[in-house]
Amino acid sequence: MTLLRMILIGWILTRYRLDTLLLHQQVPWPIRFAQWFFPFRWIIPATGSEGRRVRLALERLGPVFVKFGQILSTRRDLLPAEMAEELAYLQDRVPAFPGQQARKLIEGALGAPTTELFQHFDETPMASASIAQVHAAVLHDGRAVVVKVIRPNIRKVIVKDLRLMELMARLVNMIPDGKRLRPLEVVDDFRKTILDELDLLREGANMATLRRNFEDSELLYIPWVHWEYTRRSVLVMERITGMPVSDVDALKAAGIDMKALAERGVEIFFTQVFRDSFFHADMHPGNIFVSRAHPESPQYIGIDCGIVGSLSREDQSYLAQNLLAFFNRDYYRVAELHVESGWVPAGTRVNEFEAAIRSVCEPIFEKPLAEISFGLLLVRLFQTARRFDMTVQPQLVLLQKTLLNIEGLGRQLYPQLDLWKTAKPFLEHWVREQVGPRRFIKAVQQHGPGWLAKAPQIPDLVHDTLLNLRKIGGVEQRLHERLDDLKREQHKANRRLTRRLLAAVLLLFVAWTGDPSAWLQSLSWQQWAGLGLGGLLLLWP
């Protein structure tokens, strides 16, 4: 099946003439020369814009490739405007499947007709994405809801694409420098992420967690989940009213403070990553809306929480310190942190790594901070990876993707966004809270009750520990005594071996000095003495 899928992918790339994209790239001349002899170049015309052909090809290739297009659509600073506009259609305007089929899937999952479940169900989808599509409905108590249903047979398509990605990752892994990228681990991480997205019960739990983390917050609102109508393939949640974050004209017309909106997006990201260690990892514009309630203090509305990420405390600490070091241009500290965290080999020379980082960052920092693209900085840094054998960190892939989404969205809303100025105070505050008295007091507050509950057990634990140490000491003493005995036995064995080797030499000497034919009949007294000494050495214990 993988071979058939590869053939299909090749045909789709050919059908939409994506080979024309190479004409604008710096590719080796043999490839450019071979393009002129590409047979389909003269058979299939390249109709339509390149952006439209890329978008249609990704739609035909399926959900895995649509996800890739969604990520690209947020990077307007890296793509031509026309292509970015076309790829934006992938965020919520993927071709829908029939509403009648959606109704049957919902009824099969919930075990009842939609007429019993809802006062009204609209078969015309509100939006359609790569994994699922959503329909408007009204509960019998009058509450407006949204019903999300997984596309039919989508798991089979995803599994096929994942097998193909794994095959491609294995091929990359065979390249001498490919293992540094850890392609198999990255694909495995992506597999878990996208398969988790097929479980809407998990998405509902993610929404509940995010809602609890931002309860009563002016920054972010997450809709309610109606658990009684939610299953693995169906999710029913509160219907929200807001403006799509990608509709900049509508936001401006509503009087939304665009600067505050862009900065709050950055604040939400860093709050999720460092305060909660639980972040929405699919924050493309199709999943984000803006409330009309308070235009001077804009509030985001987040949906589609199927992909979330988290970091360990160690990763949080290293990441925060790395970003702060970048902000302060402390390149030595950046290099040092990479070595300490194991992101580069332990034997890496920090001074050389610092010099390489400096050569990458300084030209960028010469620009005004508002014009610096963090995404571009990451690209430049990764270009130093080959020299220092820097490995890809799978646990940071989702974070990097989300950060690129946030920066792309923020610059779309407010091109003068200073990501560095917005993020630096937050990071400094977080780092201060991780050390010193505040952290100690917080730890006491969190763990104090548990410590008090265990306090009565401490004397018994100390007593048991001392007994164990005494036993260990006794065992160690017996081991030392046994080791001394073994050494003495070895010494004796060595002396016995030496004596017997000497006896063998004496016996050979006696036999060699006599007449081999009759030496026993005519032994001299010296030979008898040698035989006696040899025998004595052999019998000596």
Instruction: Provide the pLDDT for residue 516.
Output: 45
Instruction: Provide the pLDDT for residue 503.
Output: 60
Q: Which residue has the higher pLDDT, 87 or 218?
A: 218
136 band by pLDDT with thresholds 50, 70 and 90? very high
Instruction: Provide the pLDDT for residue 414.
Output: 85
| % residues pLDDT > 90 (the chain) | 22
**Average pLDDT score over the chain:** 77
Instruction: Provide the pLDDT for residue 487.
Output: 72
Could you tell me if 302 and 406 lie in one domain? yes
Q: Which of 435, 470, 504 is the last residue of a domain?
A: 435
Could you tell me if 280 and 363 lie in one domain? yes
Instruction: Provide the pLDDT for residue 401.
Output: 72
Structural domain contains residue 420: yes
Instruction: Provide the pLDDT for residue 205.
Output: 95
Helix (H) or strand (E) run with residue 146 in it: strand 144-150
437 band by pLDDT with thresholds 50, 70 and 90? low
Structural domain contains residue 208: no
Instruction: Provide the pLDDT for residue 119.
Output: 95
State the average pLDDT over residues 458-476.
66
Could you tell me if 280 and 315 lie in one domain? yes
Structural domain contains residue 125: no
CA-CA-CA-CA torsion for 457, 463, 468, 473, nearest 10 degrees?
A: 150
Could you tell me if 431 and 506 lie in one domain? no
Q: 284 is written with which tokens? A: 């493309």
Q: Which of 67, 91, 115 is the last residue of a domain?
A: 91
**Taking the CB of residue 421, how many other CB atoms lie within 10 A of it?**
13
532 band by pLDDT with thresholds 50, 70 and 90? low
Please check the confidence at residue 274 and state whether its pLDDT lies above 80. Answer: yes
CA-CA-CA-CA torsion for 322, 189, 277, 380, nearest 10 degrees?
A: 20
Domain carrying residue 375: 243-435
Q: Which residue has the higher pLDDT, 449 or 36?
A: 449
User: Of the ranges 181-195, 230-244, 285-299, 419-433, which is most confident?
Assistant: 230-244
Could you tell me if 395 and 263 lie in one domain? yes
Q: What is the pLDDT of residues 307-338, one digit of tens each?
A: 888 888 888 888 888 888 887 888 898 888 88
State the average pLDDT over residues 482-507.
66
CA-CA-CA-CA torsion for 435, 439, 440, 443, nearest 10 degrees?
A: -140
Answer whether 133's CB lies under 8 Å from 146's CB. no
Could you tell me if 367 and 490 lie in one domain? no
Structural domain contains residue 36: yes
Catalytic residue flag (residue 282): yes
Instruction: Provide the pLDDT for residue 231.
Output: 95
Please check the confidence at residue 239 and state whether its pLDDT lies above 60. Answer: yes
Structural domain contains residue 97: no
Query: Could you say which of 92, 189, 282, 304 is catalytic?
Result: 282
Could you tell me if 344 and 378 lie in one domain? yes
Q: Which of 54, 73, 91 is the last residue of a domain?
A: 91
Structural domain contains residue 426: yes
Please check the confidence at residue 34 and state whether its pLDDT lies above 80. Answer: no
| % residues pLDDT > 70 (the chain) | 66
Please check the confidence at residue 110 and state whether its pLDDT lies above 90. Answer: yes
Please check the confidence at residue 534 and state whether its pLDDT lies above 60. Answer: no
Structural domain contains residue 189: no
Instruction: Provide the pLDDT for residue 474.
Output: 64
Could you tell me if 327 and 470 lie in one domain? no
When mean pLDDT is compared across 156-160, 224-228, 421-425, the lowest value belongs to 421-425
Look at the chain and report how many structural domains it folds into. 3
Structural domain contains residue 210: no
Could you tell me if 486 and 375 lie in one domain? no
Could you tell me if 266 and 337 lie in one domain? yes
Could you tell me if 466 and 412 lie in one domain? no
Could you tell me if 390 and 504 lie in one domain? no
Please check the confidence at residue 114 and state whether its pLDDT lies above 90. Answer: yes
Instruction: Provide the pLDDT for residue 438.
Output: 61
Strands 308-309 and 279-280: antiparallel
Q: In degrees, to the nearest 5, what angle opens at C-alpha 74 toward C-alphas 71 and 77?
A: 120
Q: Which residue has the higher pLDDT, 10 or 527?
A: 10
